[in-house]
């Protein structure tokens, strides 16, 4: 019989062997053991089955971070279905699109959202809307509690889908990245070994779990290691500092580290057990890297990846140097090249688009073969859209983005989507949205609008209020400026670089 490539089957073996060892510990000191986690996943899996979810069906979850939410994820894998997590900040208008695209069998949402979603799904094939609140309680958890804990882990091949994760779309629409059991298994095993996971490791988990960083990278490595996971519903500085002394591993976005460094009482004492502090999802300033080392004696380990490919490169854990401002070397088994517009590898040091190939690279965009074809080379390399250089020894540095992406507080925002919403408001002629340096969020979003000739545009507060009905909070411009014209080049394209330069001081001091 071929081996079951279901990633949960691998985890389940490890977790069963761990028995009563602690899996999750919440801020109030409550502990869930690995044995109990297996049981809870079993009950959630039975609940999904009772709702009619079959292998290959999508389970959509727009749920706050909780252990029940983790069980829902693992249960989805266990029954061979496809987990489709959504950012909790998305509005009902945005979710409507995801439902029509992903056509989930079941949707789990917060109790406050239930009525809105039920209206949306009337015309769709969704079987059931279930609820799960921020503390994990809701109709789904109630249903799971009535189920038995045992049940088969469905056999999957490495090529079968495990998750459907939406990325921001350049055309304003998100694309669903199809991620297979083979993708997550290979990446989890490689990172577990590369970052030196060992018995006794304790992870401090403060990332969201609707994104690959918190859901896959942090959870998978630690569950494979059957580590104790100190579980925070979200990053909160004082609580993070309280728990940090017990952690050997943390994974964060650059904002975590800048906030820690802004706190005068943060230092070596909180990091006494820490062996690994990972940063990723957005560029870490070399200055933050150096300040952290000066304060704690530890070097942050920066790595680079994306939804479509999991982790791609990492600075070394052992041997070699962690060079500030670089993202390190391609991970074992992962091939990277820096290529020109035709996909030909460039010489060391030249700037081009980073392309990647390997078992970590996703299967393609959901129901979008044209886009998939566009982003893959004929020899199998995926074009990330990130501009990078590679040194002679293979060390990579990300220098910018070929696509027009803004990363604010770790979230990706494509200006085009916001511009579309702005242009539809009365009184606004044109708009351009750019990211400018922001001390806390890395980049802060600003919009520049022009009035419809002869009309007065709405004021800044009204514009932001209108957008907030349509767009998630993290996508809202923090400032809106009015200009007579937008700067354009000879081809009529808006020169966003000029706007970025003009407004780059917006969030300074
Ligand atoms: P996501 O799919 O949300 O994980 O976003 C992936 C994008 O985040 C990448 O394509 C990069 O543009 C950016 N990114 C991730 N890690 C890093 C890093 N260490 N340095 C610079 N950019 C990064």
Residue 168 reports pLDDT greater than 80 = no
Domains of the chain: 36-156 (3.40.50.980), 406-503 (3.30.300.30)
CB 224 within 8 A of CB 18: no
Q: What is the dihedral of CA 302, 306, 309, 310, to 10 degrees?
A: 50
Taking the C-alpha atoms of residue 89 and residue 94, their distance in angstroms, rounded to an integer, is 10
Residue 61 main-chain phi, psi, to 5 deg: -135, 115
Choose among 182, 326, 195: nearest CA to 248.
195
How confident is residue 494, by pLDDT bands cut at 50, 70 and 90? Answer: confident
Rounded to whole angstroms, what are the CA distances from 305 to 190, 207, 252, 361? 14, 16, 13, 10
Probe target for ligand 1 pocket from 251, 304, 403, with the most ligand atoms within 8 Å of CB:
304
Taking the C-alpha atoms of residue 190 and residue 473, their distance in angstroms, rounded to an integer, is 35
Residue 430 reports pLDDT greater than 70 = yes
pLDDT at 496: 86
Average pLDDT over residues 356-380: 97
How confident is residue 283, by pLDDT bands cut at 50, 70 and 90? Answer: confident
Whether residue 417 has its Cβ less than 6 Å from ligand 1:
no
Whether residue 225 has its Cβ less than 6 Å from ligand 1:
no
Average pLDDT over residues 320-327: 94
Q: What is the pTM of this model?
A: 0.88
Q: 186-223, pLDDT tens digit by residue?
A: 999 999 999 999 999 999 999 999 999 999 999 999 99
pLDDT at 92: 87
Whether residue 278 has its Cβ less than 6 Å from ligand 1:
no
Residue 172 reports pLDDT greater than 70 = no
For 462, residues 6+ apart whose C-beta sits below 8 A from its C-beta are none
Whether residue 88 has its Cβ less than 6 Å from ligand 1:
no
| Residue predicted with more confidence, 413 or 458 | 458
Q: What SS3 state is found at 291?
A: helix
- Extract the tokens encoding 202: 């304790």
Rounded to the nearest whole angstrom, what is the distance from the C-alpha of residue 38 to the centroid of ligand 1? 33
Whether residue 292 has its Cβ less than 6 Å from ligand 1:
no
Rounded to the nearest whole angstrom, what is the distance from the C-alpha of residue 310 to the centroid of ligand 1? 10
Average pLDDT over residues 429-452: 93
Residue minimizing CA distance to atom 5 of ligand 1 = 306
Rounded to the nearest whole angstrom, what is the distance from the C-alpha of residue 326 to the centroid of ligand 1? 13
How confident is residue 401, by pLDDT bands cut at 50, 70 and 90? Answer: confident
Rounded to the nearest whole angstrom, what is the distance from the C-alpha of residue 505 to the centroid of ligand 1? 24
Rounded to the nearest whole angstrom, what is the distance from the C-alpha of residue 456 to the centroid of ligand 1? 39
Mean pLDDT rounded to a whole number for the chain: 93
Pairing between β-strand 406-408 and β-strand 411-413 as defined by DSSP bridges = antiparallel
Residue 479 reports pLDDT greater than 90 = yes
pLDDT at 170: 42
Closest ligand 1 atom, residue 411 Cα: 3
Evaluated on CA atoms 418, 423, 428, 430, the torsion sign reads positive
CB 381 within 8 A of CB 339: yes
Q: How many Cα atoms occupy the beta-carbon half-sphere of 33 within 13 Å?
A: 9
Residue 361 reports pLDDT greater than 60 = yes
Evaluated on CA atoms 64, 65, 71, 76, the torsion sign reads positive
pLDDT at 171: 46
Probe target for ligand 1 pocket from 386, 403, 414, with the most ligand atoms within 8 Å of CB:
386
Proportion of the chain above pLDDT 90, given as a percent: 82
Proportion of the chain above pLDDT 70, given as a percent: 97
Pairing between β-strand 382-390 and β-strand 396-401 as defined by DSSP bridges = antiparallel
Average pLDDT over residues 392-414: 86
Rounded to the nearest whole angstrom, what is the distance from the C-alpha of residue 368 to the centroid of ligand 1? 22
Average pLDDT over residues 224-238: 97
């Amino acid at each position: 019989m071929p081996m079951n490539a279901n990633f949960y089957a691998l985890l389940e073996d490890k977790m069963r062997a761990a028995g009563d060892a602690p899996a999750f510990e919440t801020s109030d000191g409550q502990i869930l053991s690995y044995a109990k986690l297996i049981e809870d996943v079993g009950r959630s899996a039975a609940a999904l089955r009772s709702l009619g979810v079959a292998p290959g069906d999508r389970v959509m979850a727009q749920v706050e971070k909780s252990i029940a939410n983790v069980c829902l994820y693992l249960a989805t894998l266990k029954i061979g279905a496809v987990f489709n997590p959504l950012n909790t900040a998305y509005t009902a208008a945005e979710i409507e699109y995801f439902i029509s695209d992903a056509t989930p069998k079941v949707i789990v949402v917060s109790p406050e959202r239930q009525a809105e979603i039920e209206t949306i799904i009337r015309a769709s094939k969704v079987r059931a809307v279930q609820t799960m609140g921020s503390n994990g309680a809701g109709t789904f958890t109630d249903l799971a509690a009535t189920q038995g804990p045992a049940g088969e882990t469905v056999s999957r091949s490495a090529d079968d889908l495990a998750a459907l994760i939406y990325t921001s779309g350049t055309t304003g629409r998100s694309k669903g990245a199809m991620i297979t059991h083979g993708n997550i298994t290979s990446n989890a095993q490689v990172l577990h070994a590369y970052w030196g996971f060992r018995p006794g490791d304790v992870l401090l988990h403060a990332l969201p779990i609707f994104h690959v960083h918190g859901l896959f990278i942090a959870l998978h490595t630690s569950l494979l290691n059957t580590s104790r996971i100190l579980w925070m519903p979200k990053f909160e500085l004082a609580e993070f500092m309280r728990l940090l002394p017990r952690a050997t591993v943390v994974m964060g976005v650059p904002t975590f580290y800048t906030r820690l460094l802004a706190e005068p009482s943060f230092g070596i004492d909180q990091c006494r057990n820490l062996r690994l502090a990972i940063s990723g999802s957005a560029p870490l300033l070399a200055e933050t890297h150096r300040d952290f080392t000066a304060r704690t004696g530890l070097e942050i380990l920066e790595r680079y990846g994306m939804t479509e490919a999991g982790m791609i490169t990492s600075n070394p854990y052992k041997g070699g140097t962690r060079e500030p401002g670089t993202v390190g070397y391609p991970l074992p088994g992962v091939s990277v090249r820096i290529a020109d517009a035709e996909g030909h590898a460039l010489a060391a040091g030249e700037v081009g688009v980073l392309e990647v190939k390997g078992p970590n690279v996703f299967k393609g965009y959901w129901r979008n073969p044209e886009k998939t074809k566009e982003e893959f080379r004929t020899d199998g390399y995926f074009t990330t859209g990130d501009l990078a250089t590679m040194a002679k020894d293979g060390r990579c540095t990300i220098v910018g983005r070929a696509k027009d992406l803004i990363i604010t507080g770790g979230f990706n925002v494509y200006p085009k989507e916001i511009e579309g919403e702005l242009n539809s408001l009365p009184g606004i002629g044109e708009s351009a949205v750019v990211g400018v340096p922001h001390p806390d969020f890395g980049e802060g979003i600003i919009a520049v609008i022009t009035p419809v000739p002869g009309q007065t545009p709405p004021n800044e507060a009204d514009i932001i209020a209108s957008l907030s009905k349509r767009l998630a909070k993290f996508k809202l411009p923090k400032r809106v400026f009015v200009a007579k014209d937008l700067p354009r080049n000879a081809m009529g394209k808006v020169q966003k670089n000029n706007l970025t330069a003009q407004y780059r001081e917006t969030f300074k001091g």
